[in-house]
Amino acid sequence: MKAHDGFYIDGAWRPAVGRDTIDVVNPADEQVIGRVPAGTALDVDTAVRAARAALTGWAATPPAERAARLTALRDALAARKDEIAETVTAELGSPLAFSQAVHASVPIAVAASYAELAATHAFEEKVGNSTVLHEPIGVVGAITPWNYPLHQIVAKVAPALAAGCTVVLKPAEDTPLTAQLFAEAVHEAGVPAGVFNLVTGLGPVAGQALVEHPGVDLVSFTGSTAVGRQIAATAAAAIKKVALELGGKSANVILPSADLAKAVNVGVANVMSNSGQTCSAWTRMLVHRDQYDEALELAAAAAAKYGERIGPVVSARQRERVRGYIDKGVAEGARLVAGGTESPREQGYFVSPTVFADVTPEMTIAQEEIFGPVLSILRYEDEDDALRIANGTVYGLAGAVWAGDESEAVAFARRMETGQVDINGGRFNPLAPFGGYKQSGVGRELGTHGLAEYLQTKSLQF
Ligand code: NAP
Ligand code: MG
């Protein structure tokens, strides 16, 4: 795979200060496919200075011109769609068809949505005798995870650029090649030097330096709740704004009136796609006791179909974490109806599609995020019981409700403590605000709500 040996700073690829590098590994065959530099605090400082220097000019650039650059970025990503899909498959391991349909395609739609929003958003409003200006918040430090490597980047960089902010990005160490491709696309799009900068590196080194840097005005982070908590604490000391997209443990609530087979099949597919590495995955399926045995049979059959098709998880460490949770599930009394800890293949970081029955709400596997292809099926007595279980974790990122009647599902969804709910299998909407209740995060991404995270107001009184 193509890899740059420098950082994209101030409009060009520049050599790293230090000599440390990161090996990029293909999780499907455990081979090293590339090597990128690991940034130090000095590299981060150079990038932040470039972003600060570019801020005044970009913030003053008319929104229509910012929109034109975002349209060009959308086009540059679209022109590289195949290369992006192949790169994501090589460094994340997702099957090529999924990389094309989701990893490469969704970011194009999100970039397009922000090209349009930049052109149409009201960056000024009248409130009584005031004119309220919506101004860019400044320099953004963006830190992203590996699970949707390009989507997570575009969901931050596109709204930041639309708002008139400048950006320093520290992508996940496991998927830096996709981030480098993104930087190439930004360059091709004619975005002025310094507006977007990329420093690859390790979280506790380059990531931490970015969070601590006094030249950063907003830290936008997507990743684990543990790291998010640490970042929020560091940022708080400098009264720096944070946007946090964190973990999830979403409930898929199947009400008795639902089409059970459809709800179970879509539910299993949702958890197994991307090898279970989706923050909003419906990892807890809640089924009424009268339908429980039938749901188990359907789920085990659906999971078995994924045995051949599922990709690996991202790394050996991630596979060990997931196996640890499967062991814990068994130890705490849950019953395996599909999968388990045994590797389905000799080579690669594969985990079998796994389904647990007899999971109770207080078990570790029902409380903690697993981030692998592991589904827990829980039994409920009545609707109030289902709601207690659905809301009974520290997380609140997403969820699903199935019912014979849409309004019945909506009534239940209104009582859920979560930022997104799919009704009877509703489709992903790149304009709908995405983000968490409770410990799943602070702030929202996508659409106008995502744009607002990068703006601050100034009120002029007349
Ligand atoms: P992670 O370990 O928290 O890492 C996320 C990013 O933070 C990576 O770039 C990481 O660098 C960096 N980082 C690590 N320690 C840091 C520190 N001390 N200071 C600054 N940055 C630091 O998360 P992950 O394991 O990569 O991703 C999985 C997690 O992300 C899951 O919990 C998942 O739910 C969550 N997630 C949430 C959403 C959402 O929208 N809510 C979306 C996707 C994923 P390294 O790569 O070098 O570790
Ligand atoms: Mg990590």
Question: Ligand 1 site: residues with CB under 6 angstroms?
Answer: 143-147, 170, 172-174, 202-204, 207-208, 211, 222-224, 227, 230-231, 245-248, 279, 369, 371, 397, 436, 441
> Catalytic site residues?
245
Note the pLDDT tens digit of each residue in 135-148: 999 999 999 999 99
Nearest protein CA to atom 36 of ligand 1, as residue? 223
Helix (H, G, I), strand (E, B), or coil: what is residue 154?
helix
Helix (H, G, I), strand (E, B), or coil: what is residue 270?
helix
SS3 sequence of the chain = CCCCCEEEECCEEEECCCCCEEEEEECCCCEEEEEEECCCHHHHHHHHHHHHHHHHHHHHCCHHHHHHHHHHHHHHHHHCHHHHHHHHHHHHCCCHHHHHHHHCHHHHHHHHHHHHHHHHCCCEEEECCEEEEEEECCEEEEECCCCCHHHHHHHHHHHHHHHCCEEEEECCCCCHHHHHHHHHHHHHCCCCCCCEEECCCCHHHHHHHHHHCCCCCEEEEECCHHHHHHHHHHHHHCCCEEEEECCCCCEEEECCCCCHHHHHHHHHHHHHHHHHCCCCCCCEEEEEHHHHHHHHHHHHHHHHHCCCCCCCCCCHHHHHHHHHHHHHHHHCCCEEEECCCCCCCCCCCCCCCEEEEEECCCCHHHHCCCCCCEEEEEEECCHHHHHHHHCCCCCCCCEEEECCCHHHHHHHHHCCCCCCCEECCCCCCCCCCECCCHHHEECCECHHHHHHCCEEEEEEEC
Rounded average pLDDT over 223-234: 97
Which CATH number fits the domain 251-430, given the four candidates 3.40.50.300, 3.60.15.10, 3.40.309.10, 3.90.550.10? 3.40.309.10
Nearest protein CA to atom 45 of ligand 1, as residue? 203
Measured from the alpha carbon of residue 228, the closest ligand is: 1
Which pLDDT band holds residue 313 (cuts at 50, 70, 90)? very high
Measured from the alpha carbon of residue 442, the closest ligand is: 1
The number of the ligand 1 atom at minimal distance from the alpha carbon of 225 is 32
Q: Tell me what percent of the residues of the chain surpass a pLDDT of 90.
A: 98
Reference 418, options 227, 246, 262; nearest CA is 246
Ligand 1 centre to CA of 228 (Å) is 8
Q: Please check the confidence at residue 154 and state whether its pLDDT lies above 90.
A: yes
Ligand 1 centre to CA of 224 (Å) is 5
Domain residue extents for the chain: 6-246+439-461, 251-430
Please provide the distance, in angstroms rounded to a whole number, between the alpha carbons at the two ends of the chain. 59
Nearest protein CA to atom 9 of ligand 1, as residue? 172
Strand 335-338 relative to strand 354-359: parallel, antiparallel, unpaired? antiparallel
Q: What is the pLDDT, as a whole number, of residue 343? A: 84
How long a stretch of residues is the chain?
462
Rounded average pLDDT over 199-228: 98
Note the pLDDT tens digit of each residue in 264-312: 999 999 999 999 999 999 999 999 999 999 999 999 999 999 988 899 9
Q: Are 402 and 431 in contact (CB under 8 A)?
A: no
The number of the ligand 1 atom at minimal distance from the alpha carbon of 245 is 41
Q: What is the pLDDT, as a whole number, of residue 308? A: 81
Note the pLDDT tens digit of each residue in 180-198: 999 999 999 999 999 999 9
CA distance 430 to 21: 35
Rounded average pLDDT over 423-439: 97
Ligand 1 centre to CA of 446 (Å) is 19
Q: Are 326 and 418 in contact (CB under 8 A)?
A: no
Note the pLDDT tens digit of each residue in 322-379: 999 999 999 999 999 999 999 888 899 999 999 999 999 999 999 999 999 999 999 9
Q: What is the pLDDT, as a whole number, of residue 166? A: 99
Nearest-Å Rg of the Cα atoms of the chain is 22
Tokens 């062991």 belong to 327
* Cβ-Cβ contacts under 8 Å for 421 (sequence gap 6 or more): 398, 399, 400, 401, 413
Nearest protein CA to atom 37 of ligand 1, as residue? 246
Reference 20, options 231, 275, 206; nearest CA is 206
Measured from the alpha carbon of residue 207, the closest ligand is: 1
Nearest protein CA to atom 10 of ligand 1, as residue? 203
Q: What is the pLDDT, as a whole number, of residue 349? A: 98
What does the block give as tokens for 352? 């079998």
CA distance 305 to 353: 9
CA distance 195 to 53: 9
What does the block give as tokens for 209? 């330096």
Ligand 2 centre to CA of 319 (Å) is 13
Q: What is the CB neighbour count within 10 angstroms for residue 459?
A: 12
The number of the ligand 1 atom at minimal distance from the alpha carbon of 170 is 9
Note the pLDDT tens digit of each residue in 70-96: 999 999 999 999 999 999 999 999 999
Measured from the alpha carbon of residue 230, the closest ligand is: 1
Which pLDDT band holds residue 384 (cuts at 50, 70, 90)? very high
Ligand 2 centre to CA of 201 (Å) is 11
Mutation probe of ligand 1 site: the residue of 222, 313, 397, 453 with most atoms within 8 A of C-beta: 222
Ligand 2 centre to CA of 113 (Å) is 29
Widest pairwise Cα distance in the chain: 72
> Domain 6-246+439-461 adopts which CATH fold?
Aldehyde Dehydrogenase; Chain A, domain 1 (3.40.605)
